[in-house]
Amino acid sequence: MKKIFKKKEFFMYTLLSAYIFLTTFSNTAWYVINEGTKVYALLKLIRYVCYIMFVAIVIGKNVKHRYSIESIIFMMGLLIFSGIAACTGKEKVLLFMVLFLAASYGVKSDKILKCALGVQGGLLFLTIFAAFLGITDNSLLDVERKRYSLGFAWSSLAPILYFFVIMLYIYARKTKITLIECLVLEIINIFIYKYTNTRMSFWVSTILLAVLATCLFSIKFKDALYRLIIRLKKMIVLIPVISSVISCMLPLYTANGGVWEKLNTILSGRLWQCKNAIFTYGFSLFGVHMSVDGFTVANKGATDTSCFIDMGYLHIAIEYGLFVLVMIVSIYTICIWKAYKNNDICMVCIIVVLSLFCINDRFLLHAFNVFIIYAFCDNDVFKEINILKSMSKPIYKIIGMKRDN
């Protein structure tokens, strides 16, 4: 029995790792440039095989009654709204991601995140190394700011992936991390910034590592920060909600005094682009299709981005719809609440940083961001959410099951 369990566990983590690799690899320059080739088609086929395997795993878990009724209600709602968004907004990322989340239900989050660290960290450094050797693309994509692709589809992707790798590394090491490790991580951060000039991920990573180093250097600071996080629990849990409001409303802010214009300049014109998108496409319940392409090594930045949305919450609100936005914000809120329940302060901090980071960047739903699985892994907290408990009552009565306390 133990051997069978170990084989099933090994298969599960191998499958999840393969999915993480394939979706992350799809952001490399090689993948984008070689679109339409046989190898490209093969990789895409393997990714769809992963989705089929996820469906099989979900069916197997459902037959064995692994899911609570409350978790099924939540995931079905997410599946339905993402399915509608796939038709209206023609965006299928979330629809396939729901399968990944459902298959990850009950699995140990720390093991998946360690797998993600190995896969994404390894892919990041191999791609950058290959770019400097000339094996893969390392185009100068922005002459004025001297931004290189470093082997990825655009110059901002390598530093942002590194930002996620830093957080995966911090979570894997937790209390064992040292000042030397923080220093090495920051040196690599500076090196990548030198070639990509991507400011937001660089400064957020630097501040995160500086706070962590201060905690390692000063026990008093660490204890004071811990007490503050515990004391502000009710407010911190709502940070994803607050962040979503800021992200959706900030582009519309037009106060006098040039504050908006100054902020727009600091954010590389993103407020102007997002404001154009809001007035062009508007908000809807189920999302709309946006015929806007971002910059890639394939188009060398020669595309109209006057309505391109980089702000994460706003992107979901317009392209997926307000219903999906509410559910995604709920997932991040659940992640923080669950982390508090599990006394996992490290994860609380990571989700808070992510929630704030995605005010300005569209990585709430992205191949780089594996942390979203935390809401579905380990212990089931969906059955403790009052609204889901209320919705599940009639279902429990129909099927004659008793609710777990």
What is the rounded CA–CA span in Å between residue 302 and residue 298? 9
Q: End-to-end alpha-carbon separation of the chain, Å?
A: 29
Instruction: Please list the pLDDT of the chain residue by residue as tens digits (405 residues).
Output: 455 557 778 888 999 999 999 999 999 988 888 777 888 889 889 999 999 999 999 898 887 778 888 888 899 999 998 888 888 877 788 888 899 999 999 889 999 999 999 999 999 999 999 999 988 888 877 777 788 888 898 888 999 999 999 999 999 998 899 999 999 999 999 999 999 988 889 999 999 999 999 999 999 999 999 999 999 999 999 999 999 998 888 777 664 557 767 777 766 667 777 777 777 877 888 888 777 665 566 555 555 555 667 788 888 888 888 999 999 999 999 999 999 999 999 999 999 999 999 988 888 888 899 999 999 998 888 888 888 878 777 665 555 555 555
Q: Which pLDDT belongs to residue 300? A: 57
Q: Which pLDDT belongs to residue 167? A: 96
Q: Which pLDDT belongs to residue 190? A: 96
Q: Which pLDDT belongs to residue 168? A: 97
Phi, psi of 126 (to 5 degrees): -65, -40
What is residue 252's three-state secondary structure? helix
Q: Which pLDDT belongs to residue 348? A: 96
| Distance set, CA 55 to CA 51, 75, 261, 372 (Å) | 6, 13, 48, 19
* b/e per residue 62-94 (b: at least 16 CB within 10 A): eeeeebbbbbbbbbebbbebbebbbebbebebb
CB 357 within 8 A of CB 369: no
Residue with tokens 């500076």: 190
Q: How far is CA 325 from the centre of its chain?
A: 14
Q: Which pLDDT belongs to residue 165? A: 97
pTM of the model: 0.90
Q: What are the sequence ranges of the domains in the chain?
A: 2-243+320-398
Q: Which residues contact 30 (CB under 8 A, 6 or more apart)?
A: 136, 137, 151
Q: Which pLDDT belongs to residue 179? A: 94
Cβ burial, residue 302 (10 Å; 0-12/13-18/19+): exposed
